[in-house]
């Protein structure tokens, strides 16, 4: 089966930035960029796609290696206060044992799953840099290159975000043994970023940003140094205000809450992604939303870790951008992330339709597309001239979508049923998923199973 798509396609119905349109002609150049998206196009000379067409969703927050521990931390021992901080100890145990081939195999499996779910791009928040004992590899970018290689094998677009990690807590607390694979000083970190960017310059499916891990892991002077050293278009992602414990520690250290401190000390703007940002005051909501930063929301992971609820209604009302990510990958479904973003608000309010108002799921879905594209720093998330040809074709005959009017297709997609309605997926003009199966699913899965068997044998 050819991976290359014809250069002229016809979508029976497609989601454009201003809504659904019928008979949309899609023209692609040889590089996989859309050169036209024309509603009401004639069918002559075009290959007709066999279902509703969406832009591919960007997944703006991923720790790929954590796919290997999904489902293995769902028990409580003798600690009645089991929370994010106890889960983190288990995660460090996994991180300590991984070898380069295993990092690549796990990431490739994850990225295949993302594509089959309708994600066509991922922002990989990557903080595994060194050997298990903390010594750098001969190539300091060894593990970054493994993750990028996995993305290329699967065929997903990637924004690679090497992580700066220096301390074990606010105020320069010493890092723990479990964090030694993550650690770099700013100068070595910036050399790593430059090395990766240089190697992949010109590749339309690879972008490179930076990820100062969090305020607790990056001292103020280091945050200022790395944020000021990169090009002003470079994506900048960091975890912030995820848990109440983090807020309390930041207050004790600085007298300010995490987002309050960040807005006062860093040049936060459209290139920034504030991952989680769960615990915000009304003033922080207004100021952070006005900065142009994207809130990187991962509802299934945030629920799994007991983080709390992001104030989504207030953020969106303030004009804030949002995107979704699968983070720890206990779920790899953009539909589920959006569903639980809405359901969390319903549970808190004990009312229906909090974010899905007059437009149903339409505005919520479009917000995840645009915010995710902004956070990834790539021309994705829209079916328009100049965007990458990242397309998801739905199975219009699936029970959840059959005979649903166009204006309610996104409502049915997000809220009706659990069967995956993704039929075909194209990334950069190349087919990656056909009839619900990734074209390399079996080979990637076999490598993954060998790798996780070895990893779990060492845990």
Alpha-carbon distance values, 72 to 28, 80, 416 (Å): 43, 18, 28
Distance, in Å, from the CA atom of 308 to the CA atom of 277, rounded to the nearest integer, reads 10
86 - beta bridge partners? none
For 146, list phi and psi in degrees, rounded to 5: -65, -40
- Say if CB 106 and CB 454 are below 8 A apart: no
Strands 53-55 and 391-394: antiparallel
Q: What is the DSSP string of 388-408?
A: B--EEEE-TTSTTTTT--GGG
E strands, 404-454, in order: 422-427, 430-434, 437-438
CA end-to-end span of the chain: 40
Q: Which residues are catalytic?
A: 276, 327
Distance, in Å, from the CA atom of 15 to the CA atom of 33, rounded to the nearest integer, reads 17
Structure tokens at 415: 């809220």
Burial 174-199 (b: 16+ CB within 10 A, else e): ebeeebbbbbbebeebbebbebbbee
78 Rama sector, left if φ>0, alpha if ψ -120 to 50, beta otherwise: alpha
């Amino acid at each position: 089966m050819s991976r290359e798509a014809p250069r002229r396609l016809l979508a029976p119905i497609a989601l454009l930035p201003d809504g659904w349109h019928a008979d949309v002609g899609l023209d692609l150049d040889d590089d996989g960029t859309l050169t036209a998206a024309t509603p009401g196009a004639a069918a002559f000379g075009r290959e007709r796609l066999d279902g509703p067409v969406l832009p591919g969703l960007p997944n703006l927050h991923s720790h790929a290696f954590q796919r290997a521990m999904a489902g293995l931390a769902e028990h409580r021992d003798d600690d009645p206060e089991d929370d994010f901080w106890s889960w983190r100890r288990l995660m460090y145990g996994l991180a300590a044992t991984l070898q380069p081939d295993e990092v690549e195999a796990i990431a490739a499996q994850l990225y295949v799953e993302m594509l089959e779910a309708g994600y066509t791009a991922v922002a990989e928040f990557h903080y595994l840099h060194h050997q298990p004992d903390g010594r750098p590899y001969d190539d300091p970018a060894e593990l970054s290159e493994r993750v990028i290689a996995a993305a290329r094998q699967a065929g997903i677009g990637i924004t690679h975000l090497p992580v700066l990690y220096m301390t074990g807590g606010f105020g320069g607390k010493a890092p723990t043994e479990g964090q030694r694979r993550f650690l770099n000083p700013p100068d070595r970190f910036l050399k790593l970023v430059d090395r990766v960017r240089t190697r992949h310059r010109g590749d339309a499916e690879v972008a490179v940003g930076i990820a100062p891990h969090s305020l607790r892991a990056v001292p103020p002077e280091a945050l200022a140094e790395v944020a000021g050293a990169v090009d002003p278009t470079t994506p900048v992602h960091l975890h912030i205000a995820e848990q109440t414990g983090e807020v309390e520690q930041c207050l004790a250290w600085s007298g300010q809450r995490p987002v309050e401190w960040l807005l006062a000390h860093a040049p936060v703007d459209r290139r920034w992604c504030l991952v989680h940002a769960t615990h915000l005051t009304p003033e922080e909501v207004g100021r952070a939303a006005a900065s142009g930063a994207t809130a990187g929301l991962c509802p299934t992971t945030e629920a799994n870790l007991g983080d709390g609820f992001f104030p989504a209604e207030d953020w969106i009302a303030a004009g804030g951008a949002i995107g979704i990510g699968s983070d720890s990958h206990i779920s790899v479904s953009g539909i589920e992330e959006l569903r639980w973003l809405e359901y969390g608000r319903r549970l808190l309010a004990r009312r229906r339709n909090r974010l899905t108002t007059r437009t149903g799921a339409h505005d919520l879905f479009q917000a995840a597309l645009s915010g995710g594209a902004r956070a990834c720093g790539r021309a994705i998330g829209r079916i328009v001239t100049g965007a990458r040809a990242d397309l998801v074709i739905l199975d219009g005959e699936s029970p959840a979508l059959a005979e649903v009017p166009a204006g309610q297709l996104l409502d049915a997609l997000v809220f009706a049923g659990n069967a995956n309605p993704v039929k075909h997926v194209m990334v950069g003009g190349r087919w990656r998923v056909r009839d619900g199966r990734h074209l390399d699913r079996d080979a990637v899965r076999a490598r993954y199973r060998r790798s996780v068997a070895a990893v779990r044998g060492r845990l």
